[in-house]
């Protein structure tokens, strides 16, 4: 039987945007912004909205619609929106100054917390975005090894810099993973510098690495690739390979850092890389990222080494920004105070299991809910998913239709992508979500 649940709840708009209607704001967006959007995706006209404000696990659009939010700012808002502890920390800091381009207490407090929590982090440098952090981690690796090539995994996302935008959205039409630029405008010569391997295939990765070992500076990966967990032994196998050939192993922990555990995937899976990239949660929703890792690699940017071989230039106006650091410190401390990691894992398990139960009632469209900790992803296929190509086997059209219906019913998700749960999602949020998913499943999957 179809579940009965009301569609979106209405609230009064409270932000400044209330002076203009949503339609007027969307039309402004269309005239100022390419495609009328901020990112690489766009909702169909009936689902487009402008956010008025966020509070806890919910966001509200300027027409007054409420959404349970599983995008959480694309990951940073682990304590939900406008958490009072984070707001207070940012308010306190902004009165003291927003940016100094000099050492300051909040960034040192953050550095202390990261180096205490993250196993590889003997030294740390701050930057503003994840794409910048991965770009620099690769530069540190090339400087350290004196080699140029890097290896990444098909379907892995390491930000939007030119090296990383290779085979993230690979078509899978070639016989073998090979570097396909994800964007126009990427220098052709970079295709020769990036090797692509299939995620979770240690035998194939070993053969690529051993063939190119004397040219390879780094192996970079998301330890949980998008939503796919590493098979037992895969991370340790990469660790051993990197050690054997003197290659720098880089974990891109933008998503997993301070999310699977305070020490990220390297704590959760117990395999420690040489360098790690962090972002999202460590800035509490403000722009902040970091490259951290072994002292002998990171010390390459010590100004005392300027002019000597191996010196790495790393700079940025906002590097070490105190406002973002204050938000990050408040977020990390509050997560520890509320035992947030246990909560994230419990909520993730409850939601994944609940959705799977609903999907099982529609055997005409076999589906699986994949993920770990507070991450979840739905694939419409019964085939096991362990890498990018097996992930492409899911029915993407059906998935998109299914996801759009969630949004239509007041749940904000990354359509076709992976979703995040925060530590402030309530049990009631989960129950309400499941009731909506039940309704959506009846509508979309009955066919």
Ligand X SMILES: Cc1ncc(COP(=O)(O)O)c(C=O)c1O
Told to check if 157 binds ligand X by CB under 6 A, we report: yes
Give the interface segment with ligand X, choosing from 15-23, 43-51, 130-138, 360-368 (CB under 6 A).
130-138
Rounded distance between C-alpha atoms, residue 377 and residue 355, angstroms: 10
Closest approach of ligand X to the CB of residue 385, in Å: 18
| Residue 160-199 contact track with ligand X, rule CB under 6 A, x = bound | ----------------------------------------
H/E stretch holding 283 reads none
Burial (Cβ within 10 Å: 0-12, 13-18, ≥19) of residue 119: middle
Q: Which is nearer to ligand X, 221 or 436 (CB)?
A: 221
CA distances from 209 to 198, 202, 219 (A): 12, 10, 9
Give the interface segment with ligand X, choosing from 98-106, 129-137, 300-308, 408-416 (CB under 6 A).
129-137
Query: Residues binding ligand X: what is the number (CB under 6 A)?
Result: 14
Which tokens in the block code for residue 315?
């700079």
Q: Which is nearer to ligand X, 156 or 340 (CB)?
A: 156
Residue of 22, 52, 154, 222 that binds ligand X (CB under 6 A)? 222
Q: Which residues fall within 8 angstroms of residue 180, CB to CB, at 6 or more apart? A: 166, 167, 170, 171, 174
Q: Which residue has the tokens 């570097």?
A: 179
Task: Name which of residues 225 to 264 contact ligand X (CB under 6 A).
Answer: 252, 254-255
Residue of 129, 381, 422, 433 that binds ligand X (CB under 6 A)? 129
Give the interface segment with ligand X, choosing from 79-87, 156-164, 301-309, 361-369 (CB under 6 A).
156-164
Listed in sequence order, the DSSP H helices in 316-412 are 322-337, 340-360, 388-391, 396-408
Give the interface segment with ligand X, choosing from 127-135, 352-360, 381-389, 436-444 (CB under 6 A).
127-135
Q: Which is nearer to ligand X, 218 or 255 (CB)?
A: 255
Q: With CA atoms as reference, report the closest residue to 30 among 50, 14, 59.
A: 50
Instruction: Give buried/exposed letters for 158-186 (b at 16+ CB in 10 A, else e).
Output: bbbbbbbbbbbebebeeeebebbbbeeeb
Residue of 54, 80, 131, 177 that binds ligand X (CB under 6 A)? 131
Told to check if 279 binds ligand X by CB under 6 A, we report: yes
Told to check if 273 binds ligand X by CB under 6 A, we report: no
Q: Which residue is nearest to ligand X (CB)?
A: 130
Residue of 80, 106, 130, 237 that binds ligand X (CB under 6 A)? 130
Task: Name which of residues 58 to 87 contact ligand X (CB under 6 A).
Answer: 74
| Distance, CA of 438 to chain centre | 27
The answer to whether residues 12 and 60 touch, using CB atoms and an 8 Å cutoff, is no
Told to check if 154 binds ligand X by CB under 6 A, we report: no
CA distances from 259 to 28, 164, 263, 336, 365 (A): 36, 22, 8, 12, 31
The answer to whether residues 57 and 80 touch, using CB atoms and an 8 Å cutoff, is yes
- DSSP conformational letter for 56: B
Rounded distance between C-alpha atoms, residue 430 and residue 97, angstroms: 39
Q: Which is nearer to ligand X, 134 or 368 (CB)?
A: 134
Closest approach of ligand X to the CB of residue 321, in Å: 14
Told to check if 158 binds ligand X by CB under 6 A, we report: yes
Q: Contact residues for ligand X (CB under 6 A)?
A: 74, 129-131, 134, 157-159, 222, 252, 254-255, 279, 289
């Amino acid at each position: 039987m179809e579940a009965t649940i009301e569609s979106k709840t209405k609230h009064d708009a409270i932000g400044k945007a209330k002076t203009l209607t949503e339609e007027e704001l969307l039309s402004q967006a269309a005239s100022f912004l390419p495609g009328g959007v901020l990112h690489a995706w766009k909702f169909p006209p009936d689902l487009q909205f402008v956010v008025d404000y966020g509070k806890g696990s919910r966001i509200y659009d300027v027409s007054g619609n409420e959404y349970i939010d599983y995008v959480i700012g694309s990951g940073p808002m682990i304590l939900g929106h406008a958490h009072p502890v984070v707001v207070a920390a940012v308010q306190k800091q902004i009165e003291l100054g927003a940016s100094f381009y000099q050492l300051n207490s909040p960034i040192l407090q953050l550095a202390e917390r990261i180096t205490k929590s993250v196993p590889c982090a003997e030294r740390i440098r701050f930057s503003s975005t994840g794409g910048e952090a991965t770009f620099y981690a690769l530069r540190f690796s090339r400087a350290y090894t004196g080699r140029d090539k890097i290896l990444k995994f098909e379907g892995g996302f390491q930000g939007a810099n030119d090296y990383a935008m290779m085979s993230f959205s690979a078509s899978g039409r070639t016989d073998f993973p090979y570097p396909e630029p994800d964007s126009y405008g990427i220098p052709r010569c970079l295709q020769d510098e990036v090797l692509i391997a299939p995620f979770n295939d240690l035998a194939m990765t070993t053969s690529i690495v051993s063939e190119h070992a004397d040219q390879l500076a780094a192996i970079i990966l998301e330890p949980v690739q998008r939503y796919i967990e590493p098979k037992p032994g895969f991370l340790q196998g990469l660790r051993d390979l990197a050690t054997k050939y003197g290659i720098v192993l880089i974990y891109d922990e933008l998503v997993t850092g301070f999310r699977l555990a305070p020490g990220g995937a390297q704590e959760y899976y117990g395999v420690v890389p040489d360098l790690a990239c962090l972002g999202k949660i460590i800035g509490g929703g403000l722009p902040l990222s970091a490259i951290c890792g072994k002292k002998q690699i990171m010390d390459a940017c010590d100004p005392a080494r300027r002019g000597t071989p191996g010196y790495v230039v790393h700079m940025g106006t906002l590097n070490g920004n105190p406002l973002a650091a204050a938000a990050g410190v408040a977020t990390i401390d509050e997560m520890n105070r509320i035992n947030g990691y246990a909560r994230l894992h419990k909520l993730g398990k409850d939601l994944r299991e609940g959705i799977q139960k609903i999907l099982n009632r529609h055997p005409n469209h076999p589906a699986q809910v994949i993920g770990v900790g507070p991450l979840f992803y739905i694939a419409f296929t019964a085939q096991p998913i362990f890498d990018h190509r097996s992930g492409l086997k899911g029915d993407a059209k059906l998935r998109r239709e299914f996801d759009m219906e969630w949004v239509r019913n007041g749940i904000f998700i990354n359509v076709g992508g992976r979703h995040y749960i925060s530590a402030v999602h309530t049990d009631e949020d989960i129950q309400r979500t499941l009731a909506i998913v039940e309704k959506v499943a009846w509508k979309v999957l009955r066919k």
